[in-house]
Structure formats: C-alpha cells, structure tokens
A and B are shown apart, each in its own frame.
Chain A
Amino acid sequence: MTPLLAAENLVKSFSVSTGWGKPKRFYAVDTVSLSVERGRTLAVVGESGCGKSTVGSLLLRLQDPDSGSIRLDGEDAMALDSNGLRRFRRRVQVVFQDPFASLDPRERIREVLVRPMLLHRLCDRPEALKRAAALMEAVGLSAEQLDRFPHQFSGGQRQRVAIARALSVQPDLIVCDEPVSALDVSVQAQVVNLLQDLQRDTGVAFIFISHDLAVVRHLAHDVAVMYSGRIVEQAPTRELFDNPRHPYTRALLAAAPRVEIQRKSHVLLTGEPPDPTNCIAGCRFAARCPYVQDRCTQEEPPLVPVDAAHLSACFFARTLPQVETLPDTLPGTSASARMAAYRRARDRQTQQAEDI
C-alpha cells in the first residue's frame, strides 16, 4: 500500500552570511525521509533548532527543498501545476504553534472558515455557512461565536479555530507544528484529546511536530527523532519509548519532565548541538554522546533497521547498555493527573526534607 504522504531524502539548506568571505550553507534538513499512513499520527520530535519545523514547512510545500521528493498518494508533489498544487493544498493542512499569530486579527471567524471552502469549490455559500457552524461544534466551540474576531477568544479557543480552519477543506493530512506548546497544560490536554477525537471521526492523518514527549507518547503511532537536521531514530511509539536505540533518544527521554522525581536519570546532556554550518565528519551526536567510540568521529552512521520497524542511526544500536525501563505510568497529558503527580512529588520532597 502506498503511504498517504512519503518524503524521501529531503534536503534544505540556507545560506548564512558570515560577514567575511563567501556565505556558508546551513543544512537545516539533511536527507530526511519519512512517511505517514492514512489515519495515523507520525510525531517528529527533537530539540529546538533541529530542523523539525523546517521539515513541516517542506511537507506543506511552503518552502521548496533543495533536493528530495514528496509524494502524496504516490503522486509527485514537487512537479505540480497550479491546479495540482491547489488540490495538494486542500489535502494537506496545517495548525501552527502560536495561536495568537495564526489567525488574521481583522477577519471574522465566519470568513476564516467559509473562504477556504469556497476557494476549493467544496460547496456554495449557504452550505459553507452550515458547515462552518458544524465545524465550530466539532472543535468544541459554538456556532454563535462565528461572528467574533480572533481577539475575542482565548489561546486554547483560537487553537480550536485554527484546527477548524484546517478541517474546513476536509484534508487527508494535517501538519501540526507544536500545536499545544504555547498552551496551558490543562488546555493542552483538551486540544490533544480533540485531535484524537477528530482523527477517530474523520480518519485524518497527523504529522505532529513537538518537543513534548508526554504528548507524543499519548498521541502518536510512530515517532521520528531528529537531531541536527537528520532523523536519528524512528520507531513505533511504544517501541521507541520502551527500547530507545539511539543515545540521543535516550538522553531526550531522560530529560523529559518525569513524574517520579527521584528517578530523574543521570544521562542529561551537556554541550550544544554541532554548528550546522560547519560540516564535520562522523556522527553529529558524537561530541555529546556518552557512548562515543573512535569510529563515531570518522564516519557517519546511516539510518538502518535494527528491528523490523525500528530504525536507528547509531553504530552501536544493538549493543547499547540496557536502560531502566521508563515507568509506563506516565499519565499522558491529562491535566488532573499531572497536577496530582506534581503534588505527590512536591509532598515527597518536603517529607524528605523533614526526614533529614
């Protein structure tokens, strides 16, 4: 079966002026391949600046990659005429991070939702108005709020509007670029649950770009971990969280806020990711890797299968020491559970302090 969207060997570089001499190339995305099936969620995780948002914008065809291919249902999305591009745009939608920048402050919500439907000739205006009302209900807002302007909504509500806008053209895939990072924890949970409900009801696929591992674990079917412009590990979510096969993934998991505060791991990273304008030989993670060997600084490890569906770009993926299995009791994103866990941890700390 052809995947819904498949990207192969995407490369995107920017030219960086150094002030002196010729500008350097900055490889934001370097040979990234990923694919997502209908009705599934692929999460792309990594630290700030690792290129995950650039991947999103390439997949949305908002930027052109330097090389590589993107296929939507097997059809080459890089060589589309204007009609083809318009069809592509209807099928692939986006939800951005900042709910305060993603809605035009001068446009009523009604127009935000109706105009895309009319643009793609999905229906006539009276029908579009009905659908807009239905969309508002679907994302947990009310049809009466259609007359409002964006500034009359809270951040979480705006994000719901942004989701409704993405859904207005009945897409097959929505690229969610950190859709909950800017929201309060309690609102995050609502929006994540909304996304899950929508996926169940409409069969839409998500590419979920995030640095919040708890959300990713709760929502994604598959996870791709990016580091310095490349994918270093890719696996089904459970497999990745239970059995990480790349030192960077391990460090990322260890750095995630943990409920069990005493079990905070010791493998926290130091240092910075490599300067992406300065191409060094070998593994890009070598400088920060606790398991580094000579070979790592000489040749670059390819992304190869370790298990059936588990890819890792580490020479020692199979032989990495066992890690303590992470507690599977992570309460997902439910706000109340997080709050409860926080209180437990806090109480325990005070108790310890008293014991001493």
Chain B
Amino acid sequence: MTTAPASHSLIRRLVEDSRSAFGMALVSILVLAAVFGPVLSSYAPDAADFMATLAPPSADHFLGTDDLGRDVLSRILSGARVSLLVGVISVGGAVLVGLPIGLVAGYLGGRTDAVLMRCMDVLLAFPGILLALGITAALGASLTNTIIAIAVINTPTIARVTRAQTMLVSSLDYVKANRALGFSNLTIMTRSVLPNALSPVLVQASLLLASSIITESYLSFLGLGVQPPTPTWGSMLRDAISFIDQATWLAWFPGAAIFLTVLGFNIFGDGLRDRLDPRD
C-alpha cells in the first residue's frame, strides 16, 4: 500500500468539500483583486471626477462614485490589496512571535510557562481594538504601524492556542518515548510536538486573518489606520457615513467586500480545521 502523507492531498480534499471550496473561492477572488485590481478597472482609485459625484451604480461606474467622484469599484479593488497585506503580514508576524512563545511555554511548563504566559495575558487583558488604537496613537497612523498594532493584538491568541495544543501533545506517550530515547528538547519540540500541534494554530490563523481585516477597517474608520488617499475598505465606510442618506451604496459595497472576505476566510478556516483532523 502506497499512501501519500495526508498533507499532499490536503488541497484536493479542501476543494472536494463544497463548503471549504466556496471559502477558497472567496479568498481567491480577494487575492486576484489585490493582484490584478488596477488592471480590472478603467478608473484610477484616486481620480476625482467632480462632474459625477455621488453617482449611483451605472454602466459607467458599476458601483457608483463617492463624494469626490472617485470610482467605488476601483477603490474597493485597490483596497483589497491593503486589506490582504494587513491581514497576511499581521497574522504572519503574530505566528512568527506567538508560535515559538506558546511552544516553549507549553513544552517546558513551570516557571518559563508562567512568565511567558503572564506577558501574553497582559496583552490579552486589553480589549484588542483599544490596544490597537493605543499602539497606532503612540506610533503614529500609517500602514506599517497599523500592521504592527494588529500583529501585537493577534500574538497572544496564537501563543495561547499553540500552548494549549503543545501541552496536550507533550503529554502523549510518543513525546515521552522520544524523551526516554534521549532526544533534546529542541528536537522534540520541532520534530514531534510542533507538527502535531500545528493544525489548530493554522485554523486560528485563518480566522485571525478575517478579524485582522475587520480591525484594520475599524482603525481606518476611526482615522487611525491607513491614511488617505490610500483607499481601504474601512476608510471608505467611514467616508460613506456622511452621505448615508444620499448615497447608501457608498456604505453597501465596502461593507459587502469586508463581509465576503471575512466569510471566505472563516469558511476556509473551518474547512481547514475539518480536513486537518486526522480522523477525517
């Protein structure tokens, strides 16, 4: 019997499951929009047309225009790039920092665990959005600082999930057997514990991608995120508030973009969790 390791067929199994395929499709659309956005739209995202402000959706402007006559579709497409960038880098950074912390804390336990986890608890004690506000307020509002702030609020979540899973795996007999065989702690952590503790962390990361995009939109909405004229979905939503009685589509479409993206990542994360389960 020649069976490929489970991970080889993971993508195929994800595609075969219609629900996670839907999630993957939404995520793929976001990626494509982020990469090819400028090509797809005939307007520049910051080209103002004062002859056509607050225009409703039409053949010229599929999703209408905003108060400065900028094409909403181009702005949403170009905002996808910012959203994806913020999501991927902030979650990636959180994994890079939180995963080793959780792994070491969960495996070594005792005092190391207490010290590392109390540090994480300090971060967790603040409501995430408040902490992100504080960080961007302190560092100054920019794309980089937004990413840093969101990475900081994501780190304890990743560390906690990794730690819990590491503690679970570390108590299993094969880890004890490897200790009895004389493998070093580092070898056991990286070769035995991490691969078996990883799947819930990956799922958590995919869900955090969604919440990071929302957090970015909050920050932009409050004016502390990415600064104009760079379009982001959150700042488009904020600007739309002023015209909500004249041009509802201004709020509808960025809101729908956020909704679909978060939905996509969530469904994808759920599917990933189901497919990574060895019992699948």
Which residues of A does B touch, CB under 8 Å?
57, 60, 62, 85-86, 89-90, 92-94, 96-98, 101-107, 115-116, 119-120, 147-149, 151-152, 162, 165, 169
State in angstroms the CA–CA spacing of A94 and B179 once bound together. 10
If A120-B182, A149-B5, A152-B1 touch, does A62 touch B173 (CB 8 Å cutoff)? Answer: no
B182: nearest chain-A partner, CB-CB: A89
What is the 8 Å Cβ interface bit string for chain B, positions 1-13, against chain A (1 contact, 0 not)? 1110100000000
B176 contacts A94, C-beta separation under 8 Å: yes
User: Are A103's CB and B174's CB within 8 A?
Assistant: yes
In the assembled complex, which residues on chain A have CB atoms less than 8 Å from the CB atom of B176? Answer: 57, 62, 94, 96
A105 touching B177, Cβ below 8 Å? no
User: Which residue of B172, B173, B182, B196 is within 8 Å of A86 (Cβ)?
Assistant: B182
When the two chains form their complex, are residues B182 and A152 in contact, meaning their CB atoms are under 8 A apart?
no
Q: Is the CB of B182 within 8 A of A119?
A: yes
Q: How far is the CA of A270 from the CA of B279 in the complex (A)?
A: 41
Q: How far is the CA of A101 from the CA of B192 in the complex (A)?
A: 12
Instruction: Please measure, in the bound complex, the distance between the C-alpha atom of A90 and the C-alpha atom of B180, giving whole angstroms.
Output: 8
B192 lies within 8 A of A104 (CB): yes
The listed residue (A60, A96, A105, A162) touching B196 by CB distance below 8 A is: A105
Question: Is B51 an interface residue when CB atoms closer than 8 A count as contact?
Answer: no
- Contact across chains for A62 and B180 when beta carbons are under 8 A apart: yes
Q: List 24 A-B contacts (CB under 8 A).
A: A62-B176, A62-B180, A86-B182, A89-B180, A89-B182, A90-B182, A96-B173, A102-B177, A103-B174, A104-B174, A104-B178, A104-B192, A106-B5, A106-B195, A116-B181, A119-B181, A119-B182, A120-B182, A147-B2, A149-B3, A151-B278, A152-B1, A152-B3, A165-B181
Q: Which residues of B contact A (CB under 8 A)?
A: 1-3, 5, 172-174, 176-183, 192, 195-196, 278
Question: At the interface, is chain B mostly helix, strand, loop or mixed?
Answer: helix
Chain A residues whose C-beta falls within 8 Å of the C-beta of B172 in the assembled complex: 101
Please name all residues of chain B whose beta carbon is closer than 8 Å to the beta carbon of A149 when the two chains form the complex. Answer: 3, 5
CA distance A93 to B192 in the complex (A): 18
How far, in Å, is A21 (CB) from chain B's closest CB? Answer: 22
> Which of B173, B179, B192 is the most central at the interface, judged by chain A CB atoms within 10 Å of its CB?
B173
- Chain A residue numbers with a CB within 8 Å of B182 are 85-86, 89-90, 116, 119-120, 169
| Residues B181 and A93 in contact, CB atoms below 8 Å apart | yes
The complex places the Cα of A93 from the Cα of B183 at a distance, in Å, of: 13
Within 8 Å CB of B181, what residues of A?
89, 93, 116, 119, 165, 169
Among candidates B1, B177, B195, B278, residue contacting A94 with C-beta atoms closer than 8 Å: B177
Cα distance, A165 to B176, chains bound together (Å): 13
Compute how far the CA of A57 lies from the CA of B177 in the bound complex, rounded to whole angstroms.
11
- Bound complex: CA of A17 vs CA of B173, how far in Å? 25
Checking A60, A103, A115, A120 against B180 with a beta-carbon cut-off of 8 angstroms, the contacting residue is A60
| Interface core residue of B1, B177, B192, B196 (most chain A CB under 10 Å) | B177
Question: Could you tell me the distance in whole angstroms from the C-beta of B175 to the nearest C-beta in chain A?
Answer: 8
CB-based contact A94/B174 at 8 Å: no
A105 to B181, CA, bound (A): 17
A74 to B172, CA, bound (A): 31
Please measure, in the bound complex, the distance between the C-alpha atom of A256 and the C-alpha atom of B224, giving whole angstroms.
73
Which residue from chain B places its CB closest to the CB of A96 in the assembled complex? B173
Q: B177 to chain A: which residues have CB within 8 Å?
A: 94, 96, 102, 162, 165
CB-CB under 8 A from B178, the residues of chain A are 104
What 6 additional pairs, Cβ within 8 angstroms, besides A104-B192, A106-B196?
A86-B182, A92-B180, A101-B172, A105-B278, A115-B183, A116-B181
Once the chains bind, are B192 and A62 in contact (CB under 8 Å)? Answer: no
Q: CA–CA, A155 to B92, complex, Å?
A: 39
Query: Which chain B positions have C-beta within 8 A of A106?
Result: 5, 195-196
Residue in chain A with minimal CB distance to B181: A116
Residues on the A chain within 8 Å of B173, using CB = 96-98, 101-102
Cα-based distance from A62 to B183 in the complex (angstroms): 12
What residues on B are CB-neighbors of A94 within 8 Å?
176-177, 180
- What's the Cα separation between A151 and B5 when bound, in Å? 11
Once the chains are docked, how many angstroms separate the CA of A62 from the CA of B188? Answer: 14
CA distance in complex: A86, B192 (Å): 18
- In the complex, residue of chain B having the shortest beta-carbon distance to the beta carbon of A100: B173
| Known contacts A102-B173, A106-B195, A93 near B180 by CB under 8 Å | yes
Contacts of B183 in A (CB 8 A): 115-116, 119
7 tightest Cβ-Cβ pairs between the two chains A and B = A89-B182, A102-B173, A96-B173, A101-B173, A94-B180, A104-B174, A116-B181
Contact B1 A101 (CB under 8 A): no
- Report Cα–Cα, A286/B113, bound state, in Å: 42
